[in-house]
Amino acid sequence: MSDRTVPGVMHLDLDAFFAAVEQRDKPSLRGKPVVVGGTAGRGVVATASYEARVFGIGSAMPTARARRLCPNAAYLAGRFEAYRVVSHQVMDLAHELSPLVEPLSLDEAFVDLSATRDDLDVEQVTRIAERFRADVRARTGLTVSVGVAATKLVAKIASDLRKPDALVVVPPAEQEALLAPMSVRKIPGVGAVTGDRLIRSGVKTIGDLAAADERELVRMLGKAHGTALLAYARGVDPRPVVAEREAKSVSAEETFAVDLTDRRDLGERLRRMADRVAARLGASGLSGRTVTIKVRRYDFSTLNRSRTLLHATSSAKEITQHATELLAAIDVADGVRLLGVGVSGLSEFSQTDLLAELEPERADGADDLHDLAEAGQEGEDETLESPQPYGPSAGAAWRPGQDVTHGEFGPGWVQGSGAGRVTVRFEGPHTPVGRIRTFRDDDPDLAPTGPPVFTPELP
């Protein structure tokens, strides 16, 4: 475990990650504004390239607004397969530094450098971190910002301090002076609501927070949040770097292009989302006892309804059954904007699941305390790859950014589509800027592919 007087915690954060992978793989986008996220009507920005940020575009902004701010940016739907490959490469490099790597998302992780070394000092961690950053660049072609400090809190703040492509090491002795003048909003966990509450009560900086009264903070923010924030502000952060945390829930949700009111329509979508959740549970050998649905209404108010079973399940039919019953009790007449299904209270594959797998015919549930509820009344068997007859991606067989290949022109990517046409630019990570061609969107020579292979330059 890390010693709080030694700069042993490293935080890594890939710069504008999704957009950077797109620019790497699409030469025509290098140096240009690129926005990755939901491209349909109700989409929001996941990542904007630094060139796009100049126009005021940032994460979580509605894409419609981003388009007004910068109509000429490239708007791409995202290629998570490609992002996962890169993320893996970076996490592998992190594991070369320490066995204690805690991923926070595809593009962020903590690494406990002190797990394998004693007596770390500022010079040593600087060397380690700079070599790591060079390795990431050579292996993936991307830049990563890194912060190193004695605690998670300070390491994370440090990695953000001089982004992009920067290393900031905070010697423990300088930590307090660094934090004190910063806005309380810089503390991860202090968002819009907590930030406003603090600022309205006169607590603007981390220094102010460190001097605040604990009882007052607890009254304002609750026990856990109040005491934790006060400790952070005073430089106290005992959280260890924890490798491999187990998943606590699995869910799927969808925001519709237009609000829905039709129960059959909603039920069908609920069933498809339950299929996806069940497939993911099955793939990771998990099942769960609590089924939850989420309903966001036309006015953005959000309801959750859940039910805890006597046994754990990963069955699509069973999840659908319970989710459908939960939905039946909700008034949808005014319009549903988003619908979701989740399973929590997870455990490793349960007995019932094994039985169901071994004896698919038998559903008598004799050994089952709960009413197994003879789930699928329609008797219809769920398939994982059901076609999507409607939805926000209606008719959008070609998504912007998608990798494709053409019989005559070779590999490329979709720039845009509509009105029966697809526009493709033919280029890859190691080609010059490519030519553009437009095809009928049912051109038999055009086919989707996986991501292009990025090969690092050899030393």
Partner DNA sequence: TCTGGGGTCCTAGGACCC
Task: State in angstroms the smallest separation of the CB of 163 from DNA.
Answer: 11
Site string for DNA, 29-48 (x = CB under 7 A): --------xx--xxxx-x--
For residues 6 and 221, which CB has a smaller minimum distance to DNA in the complex? 221
Site string for DNA, 168-187 (x = CB under 7 A): -------------------x
For residues 223 and 362, which CB has a smaller minimum distance to DNA in the complex? 223
Give yes or no for residue 59 binding DNA (CB under 7 A).
Answer: yes
For residues 251 and 423, which CB has a smaller minimum distance to DNA in the complex? 251
Please calculate the CA angle 216-219-222 and round it to the nearest 5 degrees: 125
285 sits in the region (left: phi over 0; alpha: psi -120 to 50; else beta) called left
Which secondary-structure segment (H or E) carries 331?
Answer: none
CA dist list (Å): 178 to 149, 154, 189: 12, 9, 19
Query: Which has the closest alpha carbon to 152: 275, 340, 9, 44?
Result: 9
Question: How many residues are recorded in the chain?
Answer: 459
Site string for DNA, 201-230 (x = CB under 7 A): ---------------------xxxx-----
Contact with DNA (CB under 7 A): which of 188, 410, 448, 456? 188
CA 180/CA 234 separation, integer angstroms: 9
Which residues between 280 and 339 bind DNA (CB under 7 A)?
Answer: 280, 289-290, 300-308, 337-338
Task: State in angstroms the smallest separation of the CB of 222 from DNA.
Answer: 4
Site string for DNA, 88-107 (x = CB under 7 A): ----------------xxxx
The number of CA neighbours under 13 Å toward the Cβ of 21 is 28
Set 22, 108, 318, 427: catalytic member? 108
Q: Do 449 and 404 meet the contact criterion of CB atoms below 8 Å apart?
A: yes
Which strand ranges, in their side-by-side order, compose the sheet holding 421-426?
Answer: 435-440, 421-426, 410-418, 403-406, 446-448
Give yes or no for residue 345 binding DNA (CB under 7 A).
Answer: yes
Site string for DNA, 118-157 (x = CB under 7 A): ----------------------------------------
Query: Which has the closest alpha carbon to 249: 194, 221, 288, 212?
Result: 288
CA 107/CA 90 separation, integer angstroms: 9
To the query of whether residue 176 is one of the catalytic residues in this protein, the response is no
Burial of 113 (0-12, 13-18, 19+ CB in 10 A): buried
Task: State in angstroms the smallest separation of the CB of 156 from DNA.
Answer: 7
Task: State in angstroms the smallest separation of the CB of 453 from DNA.
Answer: 25
Six token digits for residue 86: 């890169």
Give yes or no for residue 4 binding DNA (CB under 7 A).
Answer: no
Give yes or no for residue 253 binding DNA (CB under 7 A).
Answer: yes
Please calculate the CA angle 83-86-89 and round it to the nearest 5 degrees: 150
Give yes or no for residue 369 binding DNA (CB under 7 A).
Answer: no
Q: Is 107 annotated as a binding residue?
A: yes
For residues 392 and 429, which CB has a smaller minimum distance to DNA in the complex? 392
Query: Which has the closest alpha carbon to 395: 356, 339, 441, 450?
Result: 441
Contact with DNA (CB under 7 A): which of 27, 58, 62, 429? 62
CA dist list (Å): 194 to 19, 146, 190: 30, 27, 5
Q: Is 119 annotated as a binding residue?
A: no
For residues 72 and 301, which CB has a smaller minimum distance to DNA in the complex? 301
CA 54/CA 29 separation, integer angstroms: 16
Q: Say whether the peptide bond before residue 164 is cis (omega within 30 degrees of 0).
A: yes
Annotated binding-site positions for Mg(2+): 13, 107
Which residues are tagged catalytic?
Answer: 108
Instruction: Please give the residue ranges that form the binding site for DNA (CB under 7 A).
Output: 37-38, 41-44, 46, 59-60, 62, 64-65, 68, 104-108, 187-195, 222-225, 245, 247-255, 280, 289-290, 300-308, 337-338, 340, 342, 344-345, 392
